[in-house]
Amino acid sequence: MPSSAPSDRPGRPDRSGASGLLVAGTSSDAGKSVIVAGLCRALARRGVKVAPFKAQNMSNNSMVCLDGGEIGRAQYLQAQAARLEPTTAMNPVLLKPGTDRRSFVVVRGEPAGTLEAGQYAVGRAHLADAAFAAYRELADEYELVVCEGAGSPAEINLRAGDYVNMGLAREFGLPVVVVGDIDRGGILASLYGTWALLGEEDRALLKSFVINKFRGDASVLEPGLDEITDRTGVPFHGVIPWLLDVWLDSEDTLEVGHWRASTALSATSRDRLKVAVIRLPRISNATDVDALAAEPGVDVLVTVDAAVAESADLLMLPGSRSTASDLEWLRERGLADVVAARVAAGRPVLGVCGGYQMLGHEIEDDVEGQVGVVPGLGHLPVRTEFGQAKVLARPAGSWDGHPVDTAYEIHHGIATLGGLRPTGAPQEPAPEPFLDGWSVGSVWGTMWHGAFESDGFRRAWLAQVARAAGSQWQPHADAPGFAERRERMLDTLADALEEHVDIDALLALTRIGATT
């Protein structure tokens, strides 16, 4: 059985079976990322040398590898689940939407031009070549590659140029697991419809169905599952329950804040800290808020509501893939006025990356948005100029004696001190260094993503925010750190898959099963 597979198999992986398996979904956010992360951790615990892979992401949530390359945040986490150092081979193609019709292309971690909407179906042959080459690298090095699909494999309008779903599976003979989210409703129709829309040769690779986010008595599902298997010949290998304590670095910005309660912020409890995060249209690296939301007593709401933004103890402007455009949107929604009122009253505001740039007095962008010079919100004395070269870095620093070693940078815009004094601050205090950026009074700005994953810094800074906001919140010194919480989450997820998914049956479809 796979559980007895030794961890020290000599030489290259056996070639007598499939080099990996593909986890596809009935839709976006069906649970593909969760299943891949869980499988990677479960298999790593069994001693299998396993690696994650996603041929192409379309996401503005990304991370910088130690080698300086950029990959999707979900694949970065999946590599951590497999107990590996992430590399660009694990997500060779990353598309970062800049508008509704254009995406910026990242290949093997580096910028590689743009992709227009009309090119998406058939204009990606060179990207497929890069993706397949990366897969071969991983297949040569690891015993098993657990692949994540994108969207749905039944998007027949995109099948001709597909190299992420069935195109990948066909290229490497991968068995396919299709995951469906029962919480969305219509799960049986979604699974059957996926099978029915696939062409005959693609359908032959569909080997397993798995249901995600089930609540209740699984026996109620059994007649339906049996009927779907009778009609398709595809067995069900798992029904995963709703896992309340599992959250993942999402690649889908539509799901920002999905794992947090996000209906309202309490206006009464002063021993809690209330954080409102503006959900920008092109929000980028929104996973920055996860570390804040994981802190005991901190309530985070991702919102576009001006009243919520005004009432929170802390207002955060997150990163953006289209800074100038999102800044204009802030003004149109009246949210720029909310920021100005908070600054004038000395109430805390934080800007990260694009949000930091917006808080400055001027932005010159002839690269990303190609808008020339536009005025910023004017609350920090910095000017941002966009350059052709993209900054990809893993910096380290400190604040108030607290080390920060979890940060990363992904940006074209360079923010420098100088120019106008900040507007709206009651006494216009002098700017002070804040990580790589600056603060003025209760306004802070930094280009560093991920900094708040450093526990000591996060707690000390939030304590200062609480004092400025008049909140009685205090950090819990005995609370688990963010990295520890993430590890616990990955183990919880792996435990759930070991209990509710027939992992051995899935491995039997691969070369792992062929060698044990």
Q: Which tens digit of pLDDT belongs to each residue from 219-272?
A: 889 999 999 999 999 999 999 998 877 766 555 443 444 434 444 555 557 789
State the pLDDT at residue 119. 59
Has residue 326 got a pLDDT over 90?
yes
**Nearest Cα to Cα of residue 36 among 95, 81, 92:** 81
In eight-state DSSP terms, residue 275 is E
The b-or-e profile of 286-301 (16+ CB within 10 A means b, else e) is: bbbbbbbbbbebbbbb
Could you report the per-residue pLDDT of 61-107, keeping only the tens digit for each?
889 998 889 999 999 999 999 999 999 999 999 988 767 677 888 89
Tell me which of 5 and 217 has the higher pLDDT: 217
Cα–Cα dist 141/9, whole Å: 12
Has residue 359 got a pLDDT over 60?
yes
State the pLDDT at residue 96. 83
State the pLDDT at residue 371. 86
Q: What is the DSSP string of 441-502?
A: TTEEEES-BSGGGSHHHHHHHHHHHHHHHT------TTSPPHHHHHHHHHHHHHHHHHHHB-
State the pLDDT at residue 59. 84
- Class of the 272-469 domain? alpha beta
Question: Rounded to two decimals, what is the model's pTM?
Answer: 0.86
State the pLDDT at residue 370. 81
Beta carbons within 10 angstroms of residue 261's beta carbon: 11
State the pLDDT at residue 3. 37
Give catalytic residues, as residue numbers: 353, 449
State the pLDDT at residue 113. 78
Residue 345 near residue 311 (C-beta atoms within 8 A): no
**Nearest Cα to Cα of residue 353 among 431, 430, 288, 421:** 288
CATH fold match for the domains 21-248+487-511 and 272-469: yes
SS3 content of the chain, % helix, strand, coil (to 5): 35, 25, 40
State the pLDDT at residue 9. 41
Tell me which of 87 and 367 has the higher pLDDT: 87
pLDDT class for 356, splitting at 50, 70, 90? very high
How far apart, in Å, do the first and last CA atoms of the chain sit? 6
Percentage of the chain exceeding pLDDT 70: 88
Cα–Cα dist 27/366, whole Å: 36
- Sorted by where each begins, the domain ranges of the chain are 21-248+487-511, 272-469
Q: Mean pLDDT, the chain, as a whole number?
A: 88
Has residue 508 got a pLDDT over 70?
yes
Could you report the per-residue pLDDT of 490-504, keeping only the tens digit for each?
999 999 999 999 999
Stretch 32-39: mean pLDDT, rounded? 94
Tell me which of 101 and 426 has the higher pLDDT: 101
Could you report the per-residue pLDDT of 378-402, keeping only the tens digit for each?
999 999 999 888 899 999 999 999 9
pLDDT class for 142, splitting at 50, 70, 90? very high
The topology under which CATH files domain 21-248+487-511 is Rossmann fold (3.40.50)
State the pLDDT at residue 342. 97
Has residue 2 got a pLDDT over 90?
no
